[in-house]
């Protein structure tokens, strides 16, 4: 089958880091760690597995981190090489194992990509999986599979940047007939936003700041409103098309532009805070949002998020934060700011029941509480993955919201 793989090669990695820093297209030139071509179809690891023919594979921020060689070395032990990139998926089952129940060839499904204890064939789940926090599984390197947090980082499963992948039956969610492939694909980033918001739910009389409104940032706003939050939501958007999307999902106010001399002033005005200007360094806010969601994960966005929440406020980091070299952590201790991470998705309490975050996302989509298919703005044949990466790394000129690959 055809697929885009990430290969383990220290010379390619070193060359990519050096040349890619000055000429980004080198990173998908075929001389770096990404390569496109014929690869072996993944085998079914056991009787409870199915094979899926991919209809759409999404291009996610974490995929870009892999392609751009920005992923932290701390994630490397939880990967196995070479792996087919991509975890946002929708497709049809084309083969079922002997012990699969409830699914058949032809079923249209999405697969929760997390490779936790049950997927790995471990009879005794770890403490995290036992309490439903499958995203925090302690055994991502054990069991029947090679190491990997997710489909798309494990050499045994394939990924959605390929023609086929395999999934365990506990990962599968059937797509309702009335949902398009595009809407179904968005269940994964919606689940990221739902997990972050449902685990950090704001009071109705509180204020929320969303830093960065790419797909996940927009879906944080959408998730809050779809679940009934009446909190005041202010977003910081880099591009006008992102600002318009955030407003359409229910943001109360948009601060356009990620930098500039009046950036801090506009944030302060939005939350009734005061701006103090030290002799050296960035401005300091007194007051701010009750809670902020950082959907970027850069040193600058985390630094801003810490400054933009009030004393005793909370910063929830959703973006893929790695090694931060220019973040001032003073507000952490001086203002007793709480910093919490949010990783992927797991299970949530929804309408009195404990269910997977993916099931919550599909319920909201199926009921029409959210319409997300229009967020897929760009489609590329799989063989054109280089053009796809060129496009999504220049969002300002191309107005990319969500791009997908079509095997």
Q: Where are the domains of the chain?
A: 2-186+372-406, 194-341
Which helix (H) or strand (E) segment holds residue 37: the answer is strand 34-38
How is residue 263 annotated by DSSP? Answer: H
Handedness of CA 355, 161, 152, 196 (dihedral sign): negative
The answer to whether domain 2-186+372-406 and domain 194-341 are alike in fold is no
pLDDT confidence of residue 322: 82
- Residue 182 CA to residue 55 CA, distance in Å, equals 10
Q: Under 8 Å CB-to-CB from 141, ≥6 apart: which residues?
A: 77, 78, 147
Q: What parts of the chain have a pLDDT lower than 50?
A: none
Residue 210: the pLDDT is 98
Q: Would you state the CATH architecture of domain 194-341?
A: 3-Layer(aba) Sandwich (3.40)
Task: Catalogue the E-assigned strands of 247-303.
Answer: 253-256, 274-276, 284-286, 289-294
pLDDT in tens, 354-374: 999 999 999 999 999 999 999
Contacts of 367 (CB under 8 A, 6+ apart): none
| H or E element that contains 355 | strand 353-356
In terms of Cα–Cα distance, which of 397, 407, 399, 388 is closest to 63?
388
- pTM score of the predicted model: 0.96
- Please report, for the chain, how many H helices and E strands are present, in that order: 13, 20
Token code pair at residue 175: 């797509």
Q: How far is CA 363 from CA 22, 187, 360, in A?
A: 45, 10, 5
Cα–Cα distance measured from residue 307 to residue 301, given in angstroms and rounded to the nearest whole number: 10
Rg (CA), the chain: 21
What distance in Å separates the CA atoms of residue 150 and residue 254, rounded to the nearest whole number?
34
**For residue 306, what pLDDT is reported?**
96
The pLDDT value given to residue 325: 83
CATH number of this structure's domain 2-186+372-406, picked from the four choices 1.20.1560.10, 3.30.450.20, 3.90.180.10, 3.30.70.260? 3.90.180.10
| Phi/psi at 136 (5° precision) | -105, 20
Residue 187: phi and psi, rounded to 5, are -60, -30
Instruction: Tell me if 195 sits within 8 A of 346, measured CB to CB.
Output: yes
How would you label 76-114 residue by residue, b for 16+ Cβ within 10 Å and e otherwise?
A: eebbbbebbbbbbbbbbbeebbeebeebeeebbbbbbbb
Look at the block and give the residue holding tokens 């966005």. Answer: 301
pLDDT tens per residue across span 24-82 = 999 999 899 999 999 999 999 999 999 999 999 999 999 999 999 998 888 999 999 99
């Amino acid at each position: 089958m055809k697929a885009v793989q990430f290969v383990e090669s220290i010379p390619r990695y070193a060359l990519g880091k050096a040349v890619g820093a000055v000429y980004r297209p080198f990173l998908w030139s075929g001389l770096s760690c990404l390569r496109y071509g014929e690869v072996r179809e993944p085998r079914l690891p056991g009787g409870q597995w199915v094979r899926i023919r991919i209809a759409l594979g999404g291009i996610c921020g974490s995929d870009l981190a892999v392609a751009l060689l920005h992923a932290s070395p701390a994630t490397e032990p939880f990967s196995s090489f070479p792996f087919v990139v991509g975890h946002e998926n929708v497709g049809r089952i084309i083969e079922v194992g002997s012990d699969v129940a409830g699914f058949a060839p032809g079923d249209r499904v999405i697969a929760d990509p997390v490779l936790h204890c049950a997927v790995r064939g471990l009879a005794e789940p770890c403490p995290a999986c036992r309490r439903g926090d499958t995203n925090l599984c302690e055994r991502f390197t054990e069991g029947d599979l090679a190491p990997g947090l997710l489909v798309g980082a494990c050499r045994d499963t394939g990924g959605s940047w390929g023609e086929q992948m395999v999934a365990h039956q506990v990962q599968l969610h059937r797509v309702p007939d009335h949902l398009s492939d595009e809407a179904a694909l968005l269940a994964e980033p919606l689940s990221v936003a739902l997990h972050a918001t449902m685990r950090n739910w704001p009071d109705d009389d509180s204020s929320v700041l969303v830093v960065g409104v790419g797909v996940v940032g927009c879906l944080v706003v959408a998730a809050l409103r779809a679940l009934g939050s009446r909190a005041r939501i202010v977003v910081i958007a880099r591009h006008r098309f992102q600002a318009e999307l955030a407003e359409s999902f229910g943001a109360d106010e948009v601060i356009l532009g990620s930098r500039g001399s009046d950036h801090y002033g506009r944030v302060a005005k939005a939350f009734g805070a005061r701006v103090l200007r030290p002799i050296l360094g960035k401005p300091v806010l007194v007051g701010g949002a009750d809670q902020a969601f950082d959907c970027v994960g850069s040193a600058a966005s985390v630094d801003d998020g810490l400054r933009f929440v009030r004393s005793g406020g909370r910063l929830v980091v959703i973006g893929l934060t790695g090694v931060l070299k220019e973040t001032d952590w003073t507000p952490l201790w001086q203002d007793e700011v709480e910093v919490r991470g949010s990783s992927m998705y797991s299970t949530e309490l929804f309408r009195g029941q404990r269910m997977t975050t993916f099931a919550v996302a599909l319920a909201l989509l199926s009921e029409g509480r959210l319409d997300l298919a229009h967020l897929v703005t760009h489609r590329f044949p799989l063989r054109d993955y280089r053009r796809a990466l060129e496009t999504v790394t220049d969002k300002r000129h191309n107005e990319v919201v969500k791009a997908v690959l079509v095997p």
